[in-house]
Amino acid sequence: SCMTCGMCDQGFEQYCDKGRCSTYGATFPQGMGHDDCHGTPTQGGYSTDMTVHQRFAFKVPEGMPLEVAGPLCCAGITTYSPLSRHVKGKKDQHVGVVGFGGLGMMAVKIAKAMGAKVTIFSRSNAKKGEAAALGAELVATSEPEAVGALARSVDTIIDTVSDFHDIGLLISTLKPVTGTLVLLGGVPKPYELPAFSLLFTGTRVEGSAIGGCDLTQEMLEFCHANKVAPDLEIISAKEAEAALHKLH
């Protein structure tokens, strides 16, 4: 990021007024000290070498394996960011997590580490056992009565699903005035917002993208201190295709 705009000054480098340059899938900007690289694509972990400003380098806590730190700097900070705003340091918080994949599982683990009660919203009850193992409840969105029983009870919902889905039912579970639905999934099709539900309850809908530099360092230290880590399996590159098929 530019490091000088209002957003960067507040620690929101990911929302830089001049536009951020992601480490992967972006184009290197001009005027950042390496104009010979201007216009070239960033390659992330596929790069042979990478030079970064010290502001964008993070200290991995002593004893944390690098294979744990990597996913935390992706799914970890993406979910930690809204949870740190809405949940951390507050008592008696009820967090809803929509989707129980990579992002969803990290959201559950971090919310539990913050002391919150967690309810997972999933398409079916197939993952009830996995949810229980993490100390969370699971409700199937295919069962409207079960979702309806949670009306006006959830403080914050972290929605990780990247496919179009009905968010009206989710909004109905939020507490009035303070309840917030946070969208993390990049869904191309616009959502239909139930205006009257928002008007008559004062609930909020917001988006969130990763986290700033200071918050990312805070997240690493929080996860290390609270023994929060992703479930992972290390494989060789030649096993990648088989692993992708296994995810389906």
With residues binned 3-state (H G I as helix, E B as strand, rest as coil), the percentages for the chain, rounded to 5, are 40, 15, 45
pLDDT value of position 235? 92
The pTM for the full model equals: 0.92
Torsion of Cα atoms, 170 then 171 then 175 then 179, to 10°? 110
User: Which of 89-103, 107-121, 191-205 is predicted least confidently?
Assistant: 191-205
Task: Provide the sign of the torsion angle of the four alpha carbons 170, 176, 182, 188, taken in this order.
Answer: positive
Q: Percent of the chain beyond pLDDT 70? A: 100
Q: pLDDT grade, residue 14 (50/70/90)?
A: very high
- Position of tokens 């972290």? 158
Is there a contact between 135 and 129 (Cβ–Cβ < 8 Å)? no
Q: pLDDT grade, residue 86 (50/70/90)?
A: very high
Angle between helices 77-86 and 102-113 (to 10 degrees): 40
What tokens appear for 152 in the block? 């006006």
Residues 21-67: tens digit of each pLDDT: 888 888 888 877 778 888 889 888 888 888 888 999 999 999 999 99
Is there a contact between 241 and 123 (Cβ–Cβ < 8 Å)? no
pLDDT value of position 248? 65
- Position of tokens 């929509």? 98
Average pLDDT for 146-168: 94
Average pLDDT for 121-149: 94
Half-sphere exposure of 177 (CA within 13 A, CB side): 0
